[in-house]
Structure 1
Amino acid sequence: MPRLPVALAAALLLPLSAAAAEVVVFAAASMKTALDPIAEAFQQATGDTVTISYAGSNALAQQILQGAPADIFISASTQWMDEVERAGDVAEGTRTDLLGNRLVLVAHDEAAPQLTPARGFDLVGALDGGKLAMALVDAVPAGQYGKEALTTLGVWDQVEPHVAQADNVRAALTLVATGEAPMGIVYATDAAAEPNVHVTGTFPKDSHAPITYPAALLENASDEADRAFFDALGAPEADAVFQQQGFTLLN
């Protein structure tokens, strides 16, 4: 887990309330390595509790739409935040584009050759009979971005039969880290968080829609702790943690 700058605790330091509050956060699975230390520092500084549920953005959005009691939602794509906002579950004026990311090809084998994802590149040949791990390609943002990139580069039809789909991007990452799949498509931040995978190529930015992480307070948010933690996500000290993990700052 990355070390959080000491300044963050000071920046978030608030008088401890007589009754500690709980902040419930629904966050895309790819946020975990960066968000956990930010939440820990906030808890230590305020005495409040931050409970984070990590999963694919699609699954989290569906839970919110079905009435799950979340205070903050951080999605890995605008699509699923749009769904939640259209349903009236986003607190007015709170939605913000928080972070960006890059899409990369990773391999389990340190000796795996470097690939340049480009028009017609031989990804099937690089798999050498193995599977390509991806998050659900029709629902989870990382899978959707990956399918779009492979389609743009003209190789999706050839690669599709070799794809092993996982519930979220961290599950796809695990398939590669454990060697169950020789290669996978994940975010650059996921690759940075897992020592047992190696980046073998980075997808061109123009091969897929921009990877954007919108964040918002939800209508269920009802106390000062919810707003305080939401504000902390945009603090300079939190920015440093996100950048350390490879995210791009958008706000």
Structure 2
Amino acid sequence: MRQLVILCMFFSLLVACSSGPESSDTEKKEIFISAAASLSGALKKISEDFEAEHPNVNITLNFSGSGKLAQQIQQGAPVDVFLSADQNWMDVLEQDNLILPGTRVNFAKNSLVFISQKETDKKIHTLKDIDPGSIGQIAIGNPKSVPAGNYTKEALTNLGLWDNLIEHFVYAKDVRQVLTYVESGNAEVGFVYGSDLHRTESVQVLTEVDSDLYSPVVYPAAVLSTGESPELAKVFLSYLQSDSAQAVLENYGFMNY
């Protein structure tokens, strides 16, 4: 009888050991990613490709202005990975010890363009051609929370135009809203990223902003120290730097870092 009990216990242990890994492999895992609004198209595609390679992973995406997302993280939002459109907001989180050390990487670059509706006959070859007396409303991201708006302010300030145009600005919560304002005619012109041109066929580029007028538009990413899936987040961050993910970013108008 004693041998039978021992045999049963041994058999139960074997079943437990063999079934444990199988159940953990099939268990659905979550990654929560907060990313700059300008990344929405490319990151949706990259996330779909990542999920296809990792069937047990489900990615939840949250897009907005980088500043707003950083503030959400500071307030305790459950985020595993943060992708910013500038270094400043990533610096803020790093200073607050909200970034997992050693995980911060730069993964893409962008440019700034000045746009209008496609039907307009307005001709502006350089920003110096902007006439405050004849220009209508200008849509820009709010410089306090939207990196594209901050880059715009930097460029216009360096040209001595910011103060002269300030009454014309319509502030948007992110670059997607800037694009919507111009598409709908609620703003005559606006400043967006070069990659945003892949979202619509309803606008045209009046001029590309001279890159010497503003800081380089470099996108950093990092795993957050407060996230619930740091190891899985690191796997995603590694994938973001892969050739396949970089090809997707390039297809959506970003430049490889």
For Structure 1 versus Structure 2, the TM-score category normalised by the shorter chain is 0.7 to 0.9
Aligned-pair Cα RMSD in Å: 1.6
Instruction: Determine which of 50, 55, 60 is the counterpart of 1:51.
Output: 60
Question: Who is 2:221 aligned against?
Answer: 215
Residues 114 and 201, structure 1, Cα contact 8 Å, conserved in 2: no
Residue 114 of structure 1: how far off its partner (Å): 4.1
**Separation in structure 1 between the aligned mates of residue 42 and residue 254 of structure 2, nearest angstrom:** 9
Residue 238 of structure 1 is matched in structure 2 by: 245
Counterpart among 140, 143, 154 of residue 137 in structure 1: 143
C-alpha deviation, 1:169, in angstroms: 1.1
Unaligned runs of 5+ in 2: 1-23
Contact 1:109 1:182 in 2 (8 A): no
**Residues 223 and 230 in structure 2, CA contact (< 8 A), matched pair in contact too:** no
Q: Do structure 1's residue 36 and structure 2's residue 83 form an aligned pair?
A: no
**Distance in 1 between residues matched to 2:237 and 2:83, nearest whole Å:** 10
CA contact (8 A) 2:224 2:230 kept: no
Q: Distance in 2 between matches of 1:124 and 1:242?
A: 36
**In structure 1, which of residues 96, 99, 116 is the aligned counterpart of residue 105 of structure 2?**
96
Is contact 1:121-1:155 (8 Å) kept? no
1:65 alignment partner, one of 74, 96, 102: 74
TM-score scaled by length of structure 1: 0.87
Contact 1:97-1:213 at 8 Å conserved across structures: yes
How far apart are 1:112 and its partner, in Å? 3.3
Residue aligned with 1:25, SS: strand
Q: How far did 1:223 drift?
A: 5.0
Cα distance, 1:126 vs. partner?
5.8
Picking from 10, 14, 34, the partner of 1:26 is 34
| Counterpart residue number, 1:108 | 117
State whether residues 106 and 220 of structure 2, in contact with CA within 8 Å, keep that contact through their aligned partners in structure 1: yes
Q: Which residue of 1 aligns with 2:204?
A: 198
The 8 Å contact of residues 67 and 144 in structure 2, kept in 1 or not, is answered as: no
Amino acid at match of 1:46: H
Partner in structure 1 of residue 175 of structure 2: 169
CA distance in 2, matches of 1:114, 1:17: 59
Residue type of the partner of 2:155? Answer: A
Residues 77 and 141 of structure 1 are in contact (CA less than 8 Å); yes or no, is this contact kept in structure 2? yes
Deviation at 1:249, TM superposition (A): 1.2
Percent pairwise identity? 37
- Specify the SS of the correspondent of 1:180: coil
Higher mean Cα deviation, 54-63 or 221-230?
221-230
Give the paired residue count.
232
- TM-score, normalised with respect to structure 2: 0.85
Q: Is the Cα–Cα contact under 8 Å of residues 83 and 221 in structure 2 kept in the other structure?
A: yes
Matched, 1:228 2:235: yes
What secondary structure, in the 3-state scheme, does the structure 2 residue paired with 1:124 have? Answer: coil
